[in-house]
């Protein structure tokens, strides 16, 4: 059912230049691959600055074979024979824009497309105002991809705030890890990033990983950073806010032992729970 693998979370610094961002992605994915990572993850909006005023300008049609970002991701997955979870990019689809993650297998084939389901709208007096729904359309599916190691549940950033979504991904026992490219800001990140990753791992008895942009203090939206991997018991490893790679051996004996010892996945009472 499961096969151990080495996970690489590429916390890269994103600039205003798409060309620079793609060059950085090539560099950092290469470093993760050279360290033996089998599954490599990029952060949310890795090819563009995060912000509703940028999404339309940087958006690409992912059905276009000449999409510069998808050509880059495909090339990397083939070159290094890796599964590559392409963080997310602004996607132009007819008259809509989505926040979209495209996942490639080692043959350069697209095995999954996840469009961010929950849109981040917030207005903190004297603080951050961000309404993704002003620009982005929501996706409408929970995304699970098949790999030779396990099935992987995919979400993007704010998707992790909703326990129902993580349970929808993880209720299939063959799903071994949930991966969330993200870009929490300093305020929300300092309060909720680690907490949410731990809670989703523990209450679903599953591995959870969050891959963030590195912190750019010159950006209009400053990312928290601190990419993280959490095991099914809620124990975690993370890096700081600077650019870097978090490499973690995912060993499924921990998950199997925990699920066999603590059976609360089987104790859920959907006959009692109500919306």
Which pLDDT tens digit goes with each residue over 124-154?
666 666 788 899 999 999 999 999 999 999 9
Percent of the chain with pLDDT over 70: 97
* Total-model pTM: 0.96
- Which DSSP category does 13 fall into? -
Query: With a cut of 70, which residues of the chain have pLDDT below it?
Result: 122-129, 275
The four Cα atoms 156, 158, 160, 166 give a dihedral, to 10 degrees, of: -70
CATH C-level class of 5-263: alpha beta
Tokens 């199997």, located at residue: 256
Query: Catalytic residues, which ones?
Result: 44, 116, 157
Let me know: does 135 contact 92? Beta carbons within 8 Å: no
- Which DSSP category does 226 fall into? -
pLDDT, averaged across the chain: 94
How far apart are alpha carbons 238 and 126 in whole angstroms? 30
**What pLDDT, in 10s, does the model give residues 11-50?**
999 999 999 999 999 999 999 999 999 999 999 999 999 9
């Amino acid at each position: 059912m499961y096969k151990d693998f080495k996970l690489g979370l590429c916390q890269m610094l994103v600039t205003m230049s798409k060309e620079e961002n793609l060059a950085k992605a090539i560099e950092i994915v290469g470093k993760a691959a050279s360290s033996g990572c089998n599954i490599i993850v990029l952060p949310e909006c890795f090819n563009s600055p995060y912000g509703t005023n940028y999404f339309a300008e940087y958006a690409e049609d992912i059905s276009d074979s000449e999409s510069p970002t998808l050509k880059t991701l495909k090339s990397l997955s083939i070159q290094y024979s890796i599964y590559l979870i392409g963080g997310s990019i602004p996607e132009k689809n007819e008259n809509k824009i989505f926040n979209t993650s495209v996942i490639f297998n080692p043959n350069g084939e697209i095995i999954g497309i996840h469009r961010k389901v929950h849109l981040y709208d917030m207005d903190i007096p004297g603080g951050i105002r961000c309404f993704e729904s002003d620009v982005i359309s929501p996706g409408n599916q929970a995304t699970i991809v098949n790999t030779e190691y396990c099935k992987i549940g995919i979400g993007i950033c704010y998707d992790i705030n909703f326990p129902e979504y993580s349970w929808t991904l993880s209720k299939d026992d063959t799903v071994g890890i949930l991966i969330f490219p993200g870009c929490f800001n300093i305020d929300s990140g300092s309060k909720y990033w680690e907490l949410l990753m731990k809670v989703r791992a523990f209450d679903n008895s599953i591995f959870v990983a969050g891959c963030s942009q590195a912190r750019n203090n010159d950006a209009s939206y400053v990312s928290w950073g601190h990419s993280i991997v959490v095991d099914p018991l809620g124990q975690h490893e993370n890096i700081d806010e600077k650019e870097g790679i978090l490499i973690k051996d995912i060993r499924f004996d921990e998950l199997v032992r925990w699920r066999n010892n603590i059976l609360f996945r089987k104790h859920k009472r959907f006959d009692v729970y109500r919306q």
